[in-house]
Structure 1
Amino acid sequence: MKNCFTFLNFAITLFFSIVSYSQKTDFVYGDALPDAPSLSARGEYKVGVKTLEFTNSNQIDILKSKGEQTAFYDRKLKIEVWYPATLVSDQKELVVYDEVMGSSNDPKRPIIPFTFQGRAARDAKPLTTEGKFPLVIVSHGYLGSRLLLTYLTENLASKGYIVVAIDHMESTFRDAAGFPSTLLNRSKDIIFVLNQMAALNQSKDALKGLIDVDQTGLIGYSMGGYGVLNVAGAGYSDNSLKLFGALTGGSKALESRLGSNAEYKTSIDARIKAVVAFAPWGMERGVWDAESLKGLKIPTFFFAGSQDDISGYEKGIKAIYNGAINTDRYMLTYMNARHNVAPNPPPAESLQPGLHIDEYYRYAEPAWNEKRINNINQHFVTAFLGIHLKQKDFGKYLNLPQDSNAKTWEGFKPRSSVGLELLHALPEGK
């Protein structure tokens, strides 16, 4: 009998030890792996999160406009906002995000709801004792959602930024529509949200007075990269009208975003101080040319996969980097990676047998661990935005040998900085 009780006690102890260990080791997107570079760690602030919705009224409906007959509609943009917060004693820094996989315009990829956990407190009280925080606006790809990069949005908020991610109408998993809507509206949505956040800073919202819109950074992935570069000064080329015209049935709606357009040149917003472009799409299609890229003068950090078969590498992302001769710019390349150098890791639901492979390959990289990519992104985005939005002394994390295999990079664990390349170029003449 004594042996039975001894075994029972052992079994109970083992069970609770396993449960406790499981709770301690539950991985949340963005958590630091053992070999995570130093700046990937979360910052000192607790993080709150809330959902808002803005409506941009009377916009051109490019999908319903026919010839000279222009249709108009209201663009409803749902946004997620992460911010430094003050938590009450019983409030946990945990949140469950509601997401979907699939595509609403593809019968082979039905919409499948799923949830995942994040490290933020829903509707927590904003921290009001430390003044304003720089603003960061995040634009997802096509298709995507405002929750595609939570590993990064939460991480930045914990470091003292107010981070806003947009659900671009007609470009998300839930409401996918024709590609011309994304071509026309991506940069316009970003500008609109920047202005809405400036207005929110003067409103009765809980974030009133906390948003430093004069220190704004933009982050875009794929079509989001296409958008943020245009907002920052890389006007679309005159030749791109051939592409836009072919896809939209007419190009007049897009003329206002051409680099040669005087109206566009006056739209470059001095509040924007830094740009991060993950795998920006468009260069291989002629969206930019040598002349239009000269307009990009805001410091920019590009991220790319050397085998990107969506945006292209040598004639795509790297060509943008090389052509942006009037700005201080960096480009980090994940060697042998394809296009997915920005999103969260694949959700567990995407591993189910029988699903379309795109549910997995919307997130996964064939040659890289996505969690590892996330940590490296956190590190370099923290360094870059810290320099330009917070005047942090992070230069040593960017002043690196080009080839990561040659010598362990600053901030990386020994033997861990492999398979990466970092390029840096100053504006022409400097």
Structure 2
Amino acid sequence: MKKLGFLVLIAVSVNAVGQKPEGVFVYGDALPDAPDLAPRGKYSIGVKTMELVNKNQTDVLKRKDGVDPVYDRTLKVEVWYPSKVGDAQKDLISYDEVMGTYNDPKRPLIPFKFNGRANRDAALLKTDGKFPLIIVSHGYVGSRYIMSYLCENLASKGYVVVAIDHMESTFRDAAGFASTLLNRSKDVLFVLNQIADLGKAGSGSFLSGGVDADQTGLIGYSMGGYGVLNAAGAGYSDGSVKLFGVLAAGSDALKERTGSNPAYRATVDPRIKAVVAFAPWGMERGVWDAESLKGLKVPTFFVAGSQDDISGYEKGIKAIFDGAVSSDRFMLTYMNARHNVAPNPPPAESLAPGLPFDEYYRYAEPSWDQRRLNNINQHFVTAFMGTYLKAQDNSEYLNLAVDSNEKTWKGFKGRSSTGMTLQQVKAVK
């Protein structure tokens, strides 16, 4: 009972679910030193939960006698969008989330709630034309809510933002890793097609007439980064099929996503105009090689921690950045950060005594305040997506000195742009 009381006390005092007291920090709120483009935009935000079903997909987790059966993949998605009602700076909503990992007795699922700023099921604003589409993919394991601070922020600035719960890869249903390896990019492309159809005039959906899927951006974190890079043109290496086969009882189903496969090239969708990859996993495992990375041709913004011990830095994320020679690209590096450069701050409940330390460290960074990281991410993703999805001139926020310690970066308050680097490289034509 003492532990339960501690959980309740922290949930009320920090999250203040359903209340609007002054001084309560909601994920994504701007700190005093937040850079210029970090605060929320002019739009109030609506949010809606949907389920999309991708039928007859390869089921590598139930492979038997050398045959991969098929199954239906149900993808729960959260959609944030500009809405007609409310105040984007004050509205509060409560999201239902869990920590822990399904089927792991050492990390049982623990429900918790946290606040955001949106209006559940509000109508989509349709007086300002169609809004570009952004699709968000979480890590393994994770959920559609793990970057809610960024999703809400972008919706308030005039985007329809769709975050996916990838089946067999969430806190609630984690399963064999082979499913994640195969399905990440396929899920993203399926959701793009589904939202594009729902956004067409006369579809009968609340999105009807409000989505410009021809201007689509992708955002992925960790295994989400792995997936969105592949969805945008970075075909996996032939060697990655061997790794996949070890995990999938000899299946070679990943061949369909390799850069050497002509059928894969046909899946690269020209509607995808920009990619943000937070700590993308895979390079240290040979998922890409020099030739396969050449297929990535859309502008890409990489975000990394210099001490990433999950995806790797020099031989991991930076090697992807260096090898993507066909892309105009940026790489923001947080010095001394590890892997958690993308998610929400740790939930208050992760501080409860007796919980595995990793429940806190699924979110937290050892050398950075997560709220500070969130604000900086909001700033740079706003500048980058605005450039490539809305034709905004945000060059002053992107064309910066490489080392933030040498000179205060444009958009940052005096003396506040420390501990970062931003590299920029043009595509080889």
- State whether TM-score is above 0.5: yes
* Segments ≥4 residues shifted beyond 3 Å: none
Which deviates more, 22-31 or 145-154? 22-31
Residue of structure 2 in register with 1:62 after alignment: 60
Partner residue of 2:370? 370
Matches within 5 A, 1:248-327: 248-327=248-327
Structure 1 Cα separation of the partners of residues 400 and 22 of structure 2: 35
How many residue pairs were aligned?
Answer: 408
CA apart distance, 1:88: 6.5
What corresponds to 2:211 in structure 1? 211
Match of 2:35 in 1: 37
Q: Shift in Å at residue 248 of structure 1? A: 1.0
Amino acid at match of 2:59: D
Alignment deviations for residues 230-257 of structure 1 (CA, whole Å, 9 cap, x no partner): 0000000011111111111224211110
Structure number with larger C-alpha Rg? 1
Instruction: Show CA shifts across 1:163-206 (max 9, x none).
Output: 00000000000001110010011110000000000111131011
1:67 Cα offset (Å): 4.1
Structure-2 residue corresponding to 1:141: 139
Q: CA offsets, 1:61-102, max 9 Å, x none?
A: 11001242221111000000000000169xx72210000000
Q: Which residue identity lines up with residue 204 of structure 1 in the other structure? A: G
- 2:150 alignment counterpart: 152
Q: 1:30 touches 1:371 (CA, 8 Å); kept in 2? A: yes
Q: Which among 122, 126, 129 is matched to residue 124 of structure 1?
A: 122
1:268-305, Cα deviation, whole Å (9 max, x unpaired): 10000000000000000000000000000000000000
Measured after TM superposition, the shift of residue 375 of structure 1 is: 0.2
The alignment-based identity, stated in percent, is: 70
1:9 equivalent in structure 2: none
Question: Given residue 348 of structure 2, which amino acid in structure 1 is its aligned partner?
Answer: A
Name 1:104's counterpart in structure 2: 102
CA contact (8 A) 2:134 2:219 kept: yes
Give the counterpart of 2:168 among 167, 170, 181.
Answer: 170
Query: Does structure 2 conserve the Cα–Cα contact (< 8 Å) formed by 1:67 and 1:249?
Result: no
**Greater displacement, 379-388 / 64-73:** 64-73
Contact 1:84–1:162, Cα closer than 8 Å, also in 2: yes
Moved more, 215-224 or 22-31: 22-31
What CA distance in whole angstroms lies between the structure 2 residues aligned with 1:201 and 1:210?
6
Amino acid at match of 2:69: A
| Cα distance in 2 for residues equivalent to 1:334 and 1:152 | 17
Secondary structure of the residue aligned to 1:177 is coil
Partner AA of 2:304 in structure 1: A
Superposed CA RMSD: 1.4
Aligned to 2:244: 244
CA distance in 1 between partners of 2:251 and 2:366 (Å): 37
Kindly report which structure 2 residues correspond to 1:77-88, keeping only aligned pairs within 5 A, or say none. 77-87=75-85
TM-score, with length taken from structure 1 = 0.93
Return 5+ residue gaps in structure 1 as ranges: 1-20
Task: Determine if contact 2:91/2:118 at 8 Å carries over to the other structure.
Answer: yes
Q: Which residue of 2 aligns with 1:12?
A: none
For 1:422, give the aligned amino acid.
Answer: L
Aligned to 2:330: 330
Match of 2:197 among 199, 213, 236: 199
Looking at structure 1, the residues matched to 103 and 411 of structure 2 have their Cα atoms a distance apart, in angstroms, of 44
3-state SS in 2 of match to 1:126: coil
State the Cα distance separating 1:356 from its structure 2 match: 0.4
For residue 266 of structure 1, report the CA deviation from its aligned partner: 1.1
Structure 2's unaligned 5+ residue stretches are 1-18
Give the C-alpha shift of residue 22 in structure 1. 8.3
Moved more, 252-261 or 198-207: 198-207
